[in-house]
Structure 1
Amino acid sequence: MAEITAAMVKTLREKTDAPMMECKKALTEAEGDMARAEELLRVKLGSKASKAAARVTAEGLVGLYIADDAKLGAVIEINCETDFVAKNDDFVKFVADIARLVADKNPADVAALSALPFEEGTVDSVRSGLIGKIGENITIRRFQRIETANKLASYVHGGRIGVLVEYAGADEVGKDLAMHIAATRPKALDAAGVPAADIATERSVAEQKAAESGKPAEIVAKMVEGSVQKFLKEVTLLSQPFVKNDKQTVEQMLKEKSASITTFVLYVVGEGIEKRVDDFAAEVAAAQAAAQ
């Protein structure tokens, strides 16, 4: 039997908003498997358990650059340790400059970007210098570049959510799409783009819920399929109710405006990153022990 620690319970509670005791029970049943425990909570508590699933903890900024002709752009996420540094002028400038560099030079990956000439050295040497100046670790996490014959639009919310959209249509449509994506955070344009693992997880949760209903197998199968289809409509951009008019879907809005969308990039700062949780009391005790 895996040991269920207070830290594990705390982590699961932060991810799900579920009560402490429910978190402990789920972890015990899952033998310490965090992902399985979260799934168990969703089966038992429904949507309450997924409220904070997208909560992010790492700090930093999303940077965006679009050329004047709106046909070339880039989005980048650069992380730091605290929100305070994310507001530092030097850090903000670094993020903006590197986003433009990505657009101009089209590096293959973070390693290639880090090696590019920049200011008096390379991107990586400037990053290292900034670390020394600010006193906090800084990492380039990810980026994406789009060059198109159509148009690009972007939206940044508070520096923490960034969207880059490739579309055809009026400028207003691009702006509306970018803001909608930032607000609803779709996983893909349509069902074909949703990761198979996400669909499998939803199907598993639905099957477990349906099994508890005691209904006949054919009814259970319909319940499961209905739940999966509902999930896909909620997480695919074209199927979502348009934020400025929830009487129509995004797909219907685009048709009405004689517009289309090819792709989008959505970055949320720290998404999927586990931030270190410092135990101040433990640090003090360790410092005292070391001093003796």
Structure 2
Amino acid sequence: MANYTAADIKELREATGAGMLDVKKALDEADGDKGKATEILRVKGLKGVTKREGRTASNGLVAAKAEGGVGTLVEVLCETDFVAKGAPFGELADKVLAAAVESKASTADELLAATYEGSTVADLLTDANATIGEKIEIKRMARLEAPSVVSYLHKTSPDLPAQIGVLVGTEGGSEDVARDVAMHVAAFSPSVLTRDEVDEATVANERRIAEETAKEEGKPEQALPKIVEGRVNGFFKENVLLEQPFAKDAKKTVGKVLEEAGATATGFARFRVGS
């Protein structure tokens, strides 16, 4: 019988993020040598990388950094929540974020090609994929520049890393109001900053649906234009950040709160893991 203990299994699982059976097999093969077992996990993991390409990665975390008028937000995915809350995955995400900041990448493809401590980010993911034994990928990233940028990370569960990440760019006003807006974005998930960013086809479709619904409800013909306009405005209030009722004071819109604070929102980004 191999010379290792339950504590050795736990330590190697935490260090590599690999599953219990894989760790036990590696320790058996390495006769209890944790260093050799780690190498075995990596070699066997590399052989399975291609097989894992078609698997679904829907767990993971978001990481963000905002400094000097530049914000960076990345979403790194894995297959299970066990891996997502493990130290190896968190350390990998920190490296990915650092590479994103240093390289000034603005897309996931640019980030994968960026280097960190002598390796490309793509190679870092391949190595982690091999050691951990799960599909790991960068789903998306965002880079936001403004006179001031704040970041906000939100945990949807206390035992998981941040699942929602937000960047908000502003001009004028205080960092406190910008952070309040970032928290609002995390909670209310707007899709655009202003209604001008909603494409015409989407607005036309909303008008059509509103009109057909009103007719189906038997609303009088003469009242249709006002009803349709009201429902389209309701669509804007639901999806446009500046027109949403503010989380901390629903009597005011986000736009009004910013205006009163002497601030202008210039842009935002919001990621939720797996969505």
- DSSP-derived class of the 1:176 partner: helix
CA 1:196–1:141 in structure 2 vs 1: closer, same or farther (change >3 Å)? farther
Instruction: Give the structure 2 partner of residue 261 of structure 1.
Output: 265
Q: 1: distance between equivalents of 2:203 and 2:165?
A: 25
Asked if 1:128 is matched to 2:126, the reply is: yes
Question: Does 1:151 pair with 2:155?
Answer: no
What is the RMSD of the two structures over their aligned residues, measured on CA atoms?
1.9
Cross-structure match for 1:161: 164
Secondary structure, in 3 states, of the residue corresponding to 1:188? coil
Q: Which amino acid aligns with 1:156?
A: L
Distance 2:219 2:246 in 1: 35
Pick from 213, 230, 237 the counterpart of residue 209 of structure 1: 213
8 Å Cα contact 1:165/1:178 also seen in 2: yes
What SS does the aligned partner of 2:185 have?
helix
> How many residue pairs get matched?
212
| Separation of aligned partners in 1, 2:209 and 2:94 | 41
Deviations 1:230-273 (A, max 9, x none): 111122111112111222211111121111211111111111xx
Alpha carbons of 1:197 and 1:83: their partners in 2 closer, same or farther (altered >3 Å)?
farther
User: Which residue matches 1:66?
Assistant: 66
Larger Rg: 2
* Contact 1:115/1:124, CA 8 A, preserved across alignment: yes
Q: Is the 8 A contact 1:65 1:96 kept in 2?
A: no
Distance 1:112 1:140 in 2: 11
Percent identical residues: 38
How do residues 226-237 of structure 1 correspond to structure 2 at under 5 angstroms? 226-237=230-241
Change (3 A) 1:255 1:111: closer
Contact conserved, 1:155 with 1:175, CA < 8 A, in 2? yes
State the Cα distance separating 1:147 from its structure 2 match.
Answer: 3.0
Aligned residue in 1 for 2:95 = 97
SS at match of 2:144: strand
CA-to-partner distance for each residue in 1:198-222, whole Å, 9 max, x for gaps?
A: 4344334323321212334332333
Structure 1 pair 198/100, CA: closer, same or farther in 2 (3 Å)? farther
1:184-263 pair list within 5 angstroms: 184-196=188-200, 198-263=202-267
In structure 2, runs of 5+ residues without a counterpart are 1-56, 156-161
The structure 1 residue matched to 2:105, chosen from 104, 107, 113, is: 107
Letter in 1 for 2:193: L
Tell me the equivalent position of 1:285.
none
Q: Quick one: distance in 2 between partners of 1:96 and 1:81?
A: 18
Residue identity matched to 1:187? S
Identify the range of structure 1 (217-226 vs 173-182) with the bigger mean alpha-carbon deviation.
217-226
Alpha-carbon shift at residue 195 of structure 1 (Å): 4.1
Q: Quote how far apart the aligned CAs of 1:108 are.
A: 5.1
TM-score computed with the length of structure 1 as normaliser = 0.67
Name the SS for the 1:142 alignment partner: strand
